[in-house]
Amino acid sequence: MARLLAPKCKQCRREGKKLFLKGERCYTVKCAVARRAYAPGQHGQDRRMRVSEYCTQLREKQKVKRIYGILEKQFRKYYEEAARAKGDTGNLLISILEKRLDNVIYRSGLGSSRNQSRQLVNHGHFLVNGKRVDIPSFIVKAGDVISVKNEKSAYFKNVRETLKGSQAPSWISVDEKKLEAKVNALPNEKEAELDVNMHQVVEYYSKI
């Protein structure tokens, strides 16, 4: 399985903003963007780039890919699926990304970051409607219930405490006692709460 192996903090610094790839660390003074608010590399502080329209579109596309931890081939497939469907392509693309199992687990608070949630899914810690699913890119549907396979594991004992202080988006309801998350509806672009211009992403792919 292909993985995005680039250092998380360098990805944020390259985009010039927090992408929240490392969970709680991103909210502390240890955050690399807060400490070194410039691009990585030897000439990061001196770099003066002429920002073209193509560059702007590319950076927005890269931002979305890095937020969700997806490589180009898979992201392109998601775009093509959204482009074939009726409706706003940018909104449909975000909806597909938000419905990924690893993202739903992160958004429900059962994982501290999308990267950790992806690892938990790979290790078979979650059930979807009572069946074990170990594919992070699995697309959930409205009405699906995601539950923890073994609530007694050390990690999930601590999760109950963190869930008390977290708030899931309106399209997900979380049962703290059962450690379950139910998908009530399909998400849209506004509920994703991303600081990304999806119109630029669509423009990028429409030209290549």
Lowest mean pLDDT among 19-33, 59-73, 99-113, 174-188: 19-33
**Residue 49, pLDDT score:** 63
52: left (phi over 0), alpha (psi -120 to 50) or beta: beta
**Residue 23: DSSP 8-state:** G
User: Mean of the pLDDT values across residues 23-52?
Assistant: 62
Do the Cβ atoms of 136 and 118 come closer than 8 Å? Answer: yes
Lowest mean pLDDT among 29-38, 86-95, 131-140: 29-38
Structural domains of the chain sorted by starting position, each given as residue range(s) with its CATH number in brackets:
1-40 (no CATH), 51-99+194-208 (1.10.1050.10), 101-183 (3.10.290.10)
pLDDT in tens, 149-166: 888 777 787 887 777 767
pLDDT at 141 over 90: yes
User: Mean of the pLDDT values across residues 29-47?
Assistant: 60
What sign has the CA pseudo-torsion 2, 137, 198, 115?
negative
Which residues have CB under 8 Å from 170's CB, separation 6+? 184, 185, 191
User: Mean of the pLDDT values across residues 137-149?
Assistant: 94
pLDDT in tens, 39-65: 666 555 565 567 788 888 888 898 899
